[in-house]
Amino acid sequence: MKTAKLFKNGESQAVRLPKEFRFPGKEVFIKRVGSAVVLLPKAKSWETLVESLAKFPADFMESREQPAGIDRH
């Protein structure tokens, strides 16, 4: 497993990421999950969604039984 260096930047703690872990842009989303800290790219959040949708098979939910619509008039 790769490691990253921690350092102080003013009153904050910062992480120096190795080259292969660099993010595009100037900000990331950050979330604590249990004892882990997860960083996600902020600049391309919509692109990430579109890429995720492309991973669904073409017949995804094709056999889903849709209930009849409700007449709201």
- Asked if 27 and 43 count as a contact pair (C-beta separation under 8 A), the reply is yes
d(CA 68, CA 44): 38
The widest CA-to-CA distance across the chain, in whole angstroms, is: 63
d(CA 69, CA 35): 46
| Torsion angles phi and psi, residue 33, rounded to 5 | -125, 100
User: Above 80 in pLDDT, residue 3?
Assistant: yes
Interval 28-51 mean pLDDT: 84
pLDDT band at 9, cuts 50/70/90? very high
Structure tokens at 35: 């004892």
User: What ranges do the domains of the chain cover?
Assistant: 22-56
User: Above 70 in pLDDT, residue 45?
Assistant: no
Higher pLDDT: 18 or 42? It is 18
Question: Which pLDDT score, from 0 to 100, does residue 8 have?
Answer: 96
